[in-house]
Structure 1
Amino acid sequence: MARNGINQRELDKWAKGLVKEANKSLERAARRNPSRVPVQFETTPTGSGAPNGEAIESSAHLARLLLWLDAYAQQHPGRYIDVTRFVEEHELTDDASVLALQLEQRGLANLARAWGDAVPHVQLTDEGRVAVHALKNRQKDRAARLRHTMNAFLRWLYDTAGDQVPTNPALFLATPGSYFAGADVSGADLHQALAYLTENGLIEPIDTDPSTVAITPRGVSCALAGGSVQDDINQPTPSDNGPVFHIATNNGNIAANSTGFTQNAVTQTGFDPAQILAAVNLLQQLAPSLTPNAGEQQVLLTQVQELQAAATVPAPDRGLVRRVAGGVISTIRGLAHSPDVQRLALEAVEQGIQGL
């Protein structure tokens, strides 16, 4: 079963419909403006650009350039080709010289420097041809393709609307992250990624026309951690060593700068204001341990009071509770006086909003 009482069939139907609407949105955008949407960053599983140690499959432009060079080499063996042609054909904003240098640094292409730095002519090396063969095989790896799609989409959503603003997922399909190993991410891949991210509480569907999605506080935490979606979902359970705090029933003070603790919380199937109140109570106790600065404490306590108020009205607005809780989480992340207490506070808030 998915979160919020949505079963897997309903979740699958929603994701398929969202992808269908996304494709229609792209087609309408293409008719209005035939040029490809300019992209100003590359999305990778860790959110970085394309350092030397990054897998070539995750760098959309370099992977596509390799495949393009291979197709040219098959028709013109032994000849150099100007990378500027690739940039122009694909309507990219990248510097052709930089792309050529990145391939050279990886040993995948030779750069004809004698022709001048302003004219980046390259030729695939033997390593480059091997890399092309590996890319074509990698494109067939369904699991790797899905992992990439989930990681790239979540990071793109955070970069685009990290404040939980509803966003049309179709826009993702116009970014470098929508390529894997130089090939387009399919509609089936995107629909599976959206369903998986929703089922695990990293994004949530928004009832708009057309349908949109928003990143959740857990999704924000995953993006900020810099790891993959699987890293977040498969986090090990806390160690049994050290004291155990049961947040749902805790009424005592937590020692400052504590280490080696385990936090347990009761998991609810729906929204339970009592869990929010338990988190509020704990944060009020932890404020002095989170920061010695009186001003920072007051900011946090004010947000905590807002969270309490949002959760205790007769008919709580779940969207409002999520937004206020997201602000509390952001504030706590900026308080690094005691990392252990900070982690405990974050887990308390995240547990409190799990049922949303």
Structure 2
Amino acid sequence: MTGGHRDRLLLWLDDRTRRSPAYVDVARFVREFRLDEDPALLALELDQEGLARIVRSLGSTTEVRLTDSGRVAARRLKDLRKDRAARLRHTADALIRWLYDFDGDRTPIDPTRFLTTAGHSFAGTDTTRADLHEALAHLAEHRLLDRLPTEPPTVRLTPQGARCALAGGNVQEHLDRPRPGTTYNTFMPNAKGVVIGEQHHFTQHNTEGVDPTLFARLAGYVGQVSGTLDLPDTDRADLERVARDLQEEAASETPDPGRLRRLTARMKEMLVQAGTTAAATVGVQMAEQALSALG
């Protein structure tokens, strides 16, 4: 039994028990919600968890009576419904795992299909469109998925989102992990006052968190679609060269933010010149997203 079905069943039993403190038939729950579930198995799982007791004296395998632990669990579910942050965390976790299951071949997918997938609920209540859109915005903000300007709108996991799913799909834990910054050098000739006294040649080591994922994805995407763009052969070759340079810089041990910016800006200019095809438009938007990440 999925967690969503169990929570919904607990709340349903709690409601029926308040109306009539006698035993309740789980088969009625299965019929009411039109579930493809074995009511005897649902009842047995609740019994084994100590949340309900099967009334075996009646010779039944589906009639149960909620235990004190079951009533406490139902009360906690009702309180949990009011926790908006917990709802967002739950939806984001479920969504990233669902996307990984359906997005294995990196094909963009309509995220509203998530709402029709059995078992996706929070504290016994259905996941709403508002829940979905909030979770999508949260995942996109942290670069765990890309939102594509298709019709209907589609999304796909980023490599970082796939890593999160493979690690168990706990988005908050993934975001809380410390990430190494990128170290680069700033050369300042004839610098005064940076260090005590006068320095004729000063090298400052700065550390700035730069996520190369967006740039690597952009380079890979352009490499795939360059043959479909309306460009002269010389311009196409130049675009592919820039894509290779960007890929190499993004994959280096310490990507240079300045070079990432220059290569991405050049690539955006060339994609704009390629016209308004869907492939070029998506590339421009990916370049803008990558540039915005540099601040």
Query: Partners in 1 of 2:78 and 2:252 — Cα distance?
Result: 55
2:141 counterpart residue number:
199
Aligned CA distance change for structure 1 residues 164 and 129 (closer, same or farther; 3 Å) = same
- SS of the aligned residue for 1:123 comes to strand
> Which amino acid letter does the alignment assign opposite residue 88 of structure 1?
R
2:174 counterpart residue number:
232
Residue 184 in structure 1 maps to residue 133 in structure 2: no
1:81-100 to 2 correspondences below 5 Å? 81-100=24-43
1:35 counterpart residue number:
none
Query: Partners in 2 of 1:91 and 1:187 — Cα distance?
Result: 22
Deviation at residue 265 of structure 1 after TM alignment: 7.6
2:286 counterpart residue number:
none
- SS of the aligned residue for 1:146 comes to helix
Task: Give per-residue Cα distances to partners, 1:99-126, cap 9 Å, x unaligned.
Answer: 2122112211011224446x31111011
- SS of the aligned residue for 1:205 comes to strand
CA contact (8 A) 1:247 1:279 kept: no
Aligned CA distance change for structure 1 residues 186 and 127 (closer, same or farther; 3 Å) = same
CA contact (8 A) 1:110 1:122 kept: yes
Deviation at residue 82 of structure 1 after TM alignment: 1.7
2:151 counterpart residue number:
209
Deviation at residue 267 of structure 1 after TM alignment: 4.8
Q: Residue 49 of structure 2 is aligned with which of 93, 96, 106?
A: 106
Query: Partners in 1 of 2:4 and 2:112 — Cα distance?
Result: 18
Aligned CA distance change for structure 1 residues 185 and 236 (closer, same or farther; 3 Å) = same
- SS of the aligned residue for 1:74 comes to helix
1:167 counterpart residue number:
109
> Which amino acid letter does the alignment assign opposite residue 160 of structure 2?
R
Aligned CA distance change for structure 1 residues 150 and 267 (closer, same or farther; 3 Å) = closer
- Which 4+ residue blocks in structure 1 deviate beyond 4 angstroms? 244-248, 263-273, 278-282, 314-320
Aligned CA distance change for structure 1 residues 211 and 281 (closer, same or farther; 3 Å) = closer
Residue 137 in structure 1 maps to residue 108 in structure 2: no
Of the two, which has the highest radius of gyration?
Answer: 2
2:98 counterpart residue number:
156
Deviation at residue 280 of structure 1 after TM alignment: 6.0
Deviation at residue 149 of structure 1 after TM alignment: 0.6
> Which amino acid letter does the alignment assign opposite residue 94 of structure 1?
E
Deviation at residue 70 of structure 1 after TM alignment: 1.1
Query: Partners in 1 of 2:17 and 2:210 — Cα distance?
Result: 61
Instruction: Give aligned pairs, total.
Output: 216
Query: Partners in 2 of 1:210 and 1:235 — Cα distance?
Result: 34
1:348 counterpart residue number:
none
Query: Partners in 1 of 2:58 and 2:107 — Cα distance?
Result: 49
Residue 64 in structure 1 maps to residue 8 in structure 2: yes
1:304 counterpart residue number:
none
Query: Partners in 2 of 1:66 and 1:266 — Cα distance?
Result: 46
Task: Give per-residue Cα distances to partners, 1:308-344, cap 9 Å, x unaligned.
Answer: xxx9xx8697989xxxxxxxxxxxxxxxxxxxxxxxx
1:277-296 to 2 correspondences below 5 Å? 277-278=248-249
1:74 counterpart residue number:
18
Q: TM-score, with normalisation over the residues of structure 2?
A: 0.63
Which has the higher mean CA deviation after the structures are superposed, 139-148 or 270-279? 270-279
Q: CA RMSD in A?
A: 3.4
Deviation at residue 93 of structure 1 after TM alignment: 1.7
Aligned CA distance change for structure 1 residues 194 and 181 (closer, same or farther; 3 Å) = same
> Which amino acid letter does the alignment assign opposite residue 109 of structure 2?
T
CA contact (8 A) 1:247 1:265 kept: no
CA contact (8 A) 1:152 1:177 kept: no
CA contact (8 A) 1:246 1:264 kept: yes
1:297-308 to 2 correspondences below 5 Å? none
Higher strand share goes to which structure? Answer: 2
CA contact (8 A) 1:204 1:214 kept: yes
Deviation at residue 246 of structure 1 after TM alignment: 6.4
Deviation at residue 211 of structure 1 after TM alignment: 1.3
Query: Partners in 1 of 2:176 and 2:115 — Cα distance?
Result: 27
CA contact (8 A) 2:182 2:210 kept: no
